[in-house]
Amino acid sequence: RMAEKQEEPSNAQNGEPDNAEEGEEKKKKKLKREDLPPFEIVTGERLPAIFFKFQFRNVEYSSGRNKTFLCYVVETQGRESVTSRGYLEDEHAAAHAEMAFFNTILPKCESSVRYNVTWYVSSSPCVTCADRITETLKKNKNLRLTIMVGRLFMWEEPEMQTALKNMKAAGCKLRIMKPQDFEYVWQNFVEQEEGEEAKAFAPWEDIQENFQYYEEKLAEIL
């Protein structure tokens, strides 16, 4: 069902990028998955629970999970401190969510401001995105980036391992999401049904083992 939904024809009126000034109503309408054209970056405050439960699962074989969901918290410390948060998702044919973050959410870093950025991502970046992250961190010494990932993407590939090492060398903190981190995302970034008590996070059966499995792999790589 989900696959069908994503391929429905696009509605022209939803083709334009999301502007912050847009009315809440229009924004809500945009977030209805069916109305969105395929291969567009989707941004929003909170993601639907069904996406979270599927995309963020830290399974070993992630078949069908070919999108990246990226929840972000940006703390800027300049004259005043500001925190913003939201999420991005991508379709893998267009810009990946990691690229979209640097293109749309944080297109430029003011040199007088410190940026502490935390991402909670369903899987670790591909080689191209990892290289972009490395370059961005090297260019902007006032940017601190911590990436919490549910799964490691293609971690057996030597060029992927090199790209992750380069990210670390550039100052990026890469961590595997613990059960508590998934719970944090559930509470802060996932839509709760309207009018219902917020549902408690229900960990899946193998959440702890999978976390340990990926944590060992990441330690070996880095």
- Global pTM value: 0.74
Look at residues 9, 61, 18, 63 and name the one whose alpha carbon lies nearest to residue 43.
18
Q: What share of the chain is helix, strand, coil (3-state, %, to 5)?
A: 40, 20, 40
Active site (catalytic) residues: 98
Angle at 152 between CA 171 and CA 168, to 5 degrees: 10
DSSP assignment of 185-222 equals HHHHHBPPPTTSPPPPP---TTHHHHHHHHHHHHHHH-
Cα(25)–Cα(22) distance, integer angstroms: 8
What interhelical angle do 127-139 and 158-169 show, nearest 10? Answer: 20
Q: Which residues neighbour 219 within 8 Å (Cβ) at sequence distance 6 or greater?
A: none
pLDDT(125) > 90:
yes
Which among 139, 84, 132, 83 has a CA at the least distance from the CA of 108?
139
Type and span of the H or E element at 85: strand 81-89
Dihedral class, residue 179 (left if φ above 0, else alpha if ψ from -120 to 50, else beta): alpha
Each residue's pLDDT tens digit, 165-221: 999 999 999 999 999 999 998 888 888 766 555 678 888 888 999 999 999 999 999
Q: With 70 as the cut, is the pLDDT of residue 161 above it? A: yes
Domain residue spans of the chain: 42-58+65-191+204-221
Beta-bridge partners for 123 = 151
Question: pLDDT tens digit string along 3-21?
Answer: 433 333 333 333 334 444 4
- Higher pLDDT: 145 or 15? It is 145
The Cβ-side half-sphere exposure at 182, using a 13 Å CA radius, reads 26
CATH fold for the domain made of 42-58+65-191+204-221: Cytidine Deaminase; domain 2 (3.40.140)
Which whole number is the average pLDDT over 128-157?
95
